[in-house]
Amino acid sequence: MKQKSLLSAAFLLLIFGAMKAQDVEPHQVTEVHEPVPPVVTPGVGTAPPSDAIILFDGTDLSNWEKIDGSPAEWEVKNGVMTVVPGTGHIRTKQGFGDVQLHLEWRTPEEIKGKGQGRGNSGVFFMDQYEVQILDSYDNPTYPNGMAASVYKQTIPLVNACRKPGEWQTYDIIFMAPRFNEQGRVTHPARVTVIHNGVLVQNNVEIWGPTRFVGLPQYRKHEDRLPLRLQDHRDLVSFRNIWIREL
């Protein structure tokens, strides 16, 4: 304790010595003037901010493609895109790393099936880390597979699902994993999910790429990879998708 007090006193003497030498006021010592953050104009409501990349504005699928690189075949109608079952997953033509994503989704109003067979889709960051999309309103399933779960990994803090047929929002912060030169993960991916305005995943660690069977295991990959939406053969719809690179 005595040593800490001596160090604190020495630090204060150093600061006030520097103040005297530079002729500055005490409050100025802790002021930082660079760098100055760039200006971003916020959107109104859920509209994109000025620095966002618009992935779907309701008009076409020009920013998307099928996994094999051919044109996306999902339906676009009245500002909404909807899965056409059997046409396959779609992903962005552009790759991303650390991002903020806004996405709005809706499961069918008419309820068919139960559990994982009801309004199922998913959003995959870097083409492999999935945040589940599912009609989880009064629809029991395994909790690490419900809406807003990191699929088969992290259970959401609460179930914030709206009724089927109603629009829902995801606001997600995704931080990509980091690897060393030997291909070992040094910093696992992390994700924060806000579902319908409710925090449901709080900066949780992702254990590895999403696996339906077996345990996830990291393998080194590129720093920027596409965002993917899943065709799980359910009529899930999407609108107002935008992303910010961090």
Phi then psi dihedrals of residue 45, to 5 deg: 65, -125
Residue type for position 87: T
**Mind listing the pLDDT tens digit for each residue in 76-127?**
999 999 999 999 999 999 999 999 999 999 999 999 899 999 999 999 999 9
**Which CA distances in Å does 18 have to 28, 29, 34, 132?**
11, 9, 19, 55
CA 193 – CA 172 distance, rounded (Å): 5
Give residues with Cβ within 8 angstroms of 231, minimum separation 6.
74, 83, 84, 85, 86, 87, 88, 89, 90, 121
pLDDT band at 210 (very low <50, low <70, confident <90, very high): very high
Phi then psi dihedrals of residue 11, to 5 deg: -65, -45
Q: What is the pTM of this model?
A: 0.89
Q: Looking at residue 112, what DSSP letter applies?
A: -
User: Percent helix, strand and coil across the chain, each rounded to 5?
Assistant: 10, 30, 55
Handedness of CA 96, 100, 102, 107 (dihedral sign): positive
Q: Answer yes or no: is pLDDT of 134 > 60.
A: yes
37-245, CATH topology level: Jelly Rolls (2.60.120)
CA 174 – CA 245 distance, rounded (Å): 10
pLDDT band at 57 (very low <50, low <70, confident <90, very high): very high
Tell which wins on pLDDT, 234 or 7. Answer: 234
pLDDT band at 23 (very low <50, low <70, confident <90, very high): confident
